[in-house]
């Protein structure tokens, strides 16, 4: 394979410090495997040092790289993208924001001028979901390229489930925007109905929500397992003990954990927010429900447990859909965008 372009990839590379792997951790490696030379920044834990390290990477590599990729989120990390974008423009470096933050559409409204400059002057903006593409187009941006999040399908062995039990799995960072409390409410209602349900919640704490959920589970005497953060292989192995995956979030883009659950053969029940209706077709390859509605989740869980054949059809469709998001298929879009 002939060497391809030199790239600089800016993002939060914190997996080395025990944080969940971010897009930069997987995409940078995959691009290297395709022949690109990729410099990454930054893995500094301290936010200010990380920002400085990102800026330094641009200054040091300004004459060596053809393009800068910038993981762009909607919360505080939005400002990393703003500052790195300013530096790229100063050094006349082409840059591409990759739009990860599920709440970026609100950021477009609340930080209008900053957004217009960052996204408007980009070579293009990569939207990992049709939802994000649509939101940006409606806000007047037309330099948008849709390239979905990818998974390596061979790493996800599909489990066929003969029967469906109310063994529930939740995988996400514990953060208020992902509404982990809703999972406990669902379990509480099932328990009150006399259903023998259990819940496993996998993920690190982001804003104190984990401790809050632990206290709540103890108060309500609920059978919840909190594993903390697990490596991908660990939670994939654990998923075999569960039948239903619940995604309770209030904001979302195209969550990889939901894609992974669909690939593994779990029945997925999710809130109908953000990019999720672009990922899940209701009652075809998963369930889409109103956000913050525990009763609706309970109904869907009871329905799946009572209709295992329907659940098997849904999980089969979900797996087929996820095969279309395999890196071997998605990589051609990246190579076309980045060129040689």
Residues 171 and 257 in one domain: yes
Pair of tokens at residue 126: 């990569």
Q: How many separate helices (H) and strands (E) can be counted in the chain?
A: 14, 12
Residues 273 and 214 in one domain: yes
Tell me, what's the pLDDT at 76? Answer: 84
- In the chain, which residue ranges form alpha helices assigned H by DSSP? 23-33, 47-61, 78-90, 104-110, 112-120, 130-138, 181-192, 209-219, 232-239, 256-264, 276-279, 294-306, 308-323, 327-338
Q: What is the pTM of this model?
A: 0.91
Domain membership of residue 98 (yes or no) is yes
Q: Which domain holds residue 128?
A: 6-150+326-338
Please report, for the domain that includes residue 145, its CATH number. Answer: 3.40.50.2000
Query: What distance in Å separates the CA atoms of residue 146 and residue 131, rounded to the nearest whole number?
Result: 10
Tell me, what's the pLDDT at 1? Answer: 56
Tell me, what's the pLDDT at 101? Answer: 81
Could you write out the DSSP letters of every residue in 206-224? Answer: SSSHHHHHHHHHHHTT--E
Q: What are the 10-residue block averages of pLDDT along the chain, 340 residues in total?
A: 86 87 92 96 95 97 97 91 97 97 89 96 96 95 95 95 97 95 98 97 95 97 95 94 97 91 98 94 98 98 98 98 97 93
Domain membership of residue 179 (yes or no) is yes
**Residues of the chain by 3-state class (helix, strand, coil), percent to 5:** 45, 20, 35
Tell me, what's the pLDDT at 75? Answer: 84
Tell me, what's the pLDDT at 306? Answer: 98
Tell me, what's the pLDDT at 254? Answer: 87
Residues 108 and 245 in one domain: no
Residues 268 and 122 in one domain: no
Where b means 16+ CB within 10 Å and e means fewer, 101-113 reads bbbbbebbeebee
Tell me, what's the pLDDT at 87? Answer: 98
Tell me, what's the pLDDT at 339? Answer: 86
| Count of structural domains, the chain | 2
Domain membership of residue 298 (yes or no) is yes
Tell me, what's the pLDDT at 318? Answer: 98
Residues 24 and 54 in one domain: yes
Residues 135 and 258 in one domain: no
Query: What distance in Å separates the CA atoms of residue 268 and residue 58, rounded to the nearest whole number?
Result: 41
Residues 214 and 234 in one domain: yes
284, 317 Cβ separation under 8 angstroms = yes
Residue 330 φ/ψ, nearest 5 degrees: -70, -30
Domain membership of residue 233 (yes or no) is yes
Residues 172 and 266 in one domain: yes
Tell me, what's the pLDDT at 193? Answer: 97
Residues 144 and 247 in one domain: no
Residues 62 and 157 in one domain: no
Query: Residue 177 gets which letter from DSSP?
Result: G
Residues 144 and 249 in one domain: no
Tell me, what's the pLDDT at 190? Answer: 98
Residues 14 and 145 in one domain: yes
Tell me, what's the pLDDT at 103? Answer: 85
Domain membership of residue 1 (yes or no) is no
């Amino acid at each position: 394979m002939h060497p391809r372009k030199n790239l600089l990839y800016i993002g939060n590379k914190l997996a080395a410090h025990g944080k969940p792997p971010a897009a930069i951790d997987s995409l940078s490696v995959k691009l290297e495997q395709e022949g690109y030379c990729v410099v990454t920044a930054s893995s500094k834990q301290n936010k200010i040092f990380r920002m400085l390290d990102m800026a330094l990477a641009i200054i040091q590599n300004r004459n060596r790289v053809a393009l800068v990729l910038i993981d762009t989120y909607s919360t505080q990390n939005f400002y990393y993208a703003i500052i790195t974008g300013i530096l790229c423009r100063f050094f006349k470096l082409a840059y591409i924001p990759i739009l990860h933050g599920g709440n970026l559409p609100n950021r477009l409204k609340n930080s209008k001028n900053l957004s217009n400059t960052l996204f408007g002057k980009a070579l293009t903006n990569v939207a990992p979901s049709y939802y994000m593409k649509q939101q940006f187009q409606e806000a007047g941006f037309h330099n948008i390229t849709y390239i979905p999040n990818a998974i390596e399908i061979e790493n996800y062995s599909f489990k066929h489930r003969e029967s469906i039990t109310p063994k529930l799995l939740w995988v996400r960072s514990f953060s208020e925007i992902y509404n982990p409390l809703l999972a406990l409410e669902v379990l509480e209602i099932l328990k009150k109905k006399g259903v023998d349900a259990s819940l496993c919640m996998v993920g690190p704490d982001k804003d104190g929500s984990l401790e809050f959920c632990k206290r709540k589970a103890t108060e309500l005497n609920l059978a919840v397992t909190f594993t903390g953060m697990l490596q991908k292989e660990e939670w994939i192995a654990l998923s075999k003990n569960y039948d239903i995956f619940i995604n309770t979030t209030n904001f979302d883009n195209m969550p990889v954990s939901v894609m992974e659950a669909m690939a593994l053969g779990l029945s997925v029940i999710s809130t109908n927010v953000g990019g999720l209706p672009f990922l899940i077709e209701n009652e075809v390859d998963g369930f889409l429900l109103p956000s913050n509605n525990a009763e609706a989740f309970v109904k869907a869980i009871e329905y799946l447990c009572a209709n295992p054949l329907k659940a098997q059809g849904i999980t089969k469709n979900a797996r087929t859909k996820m095969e279309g998001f395999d890196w071997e298929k998605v990589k051609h879009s990246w190579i076309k965008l980045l060129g040689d």
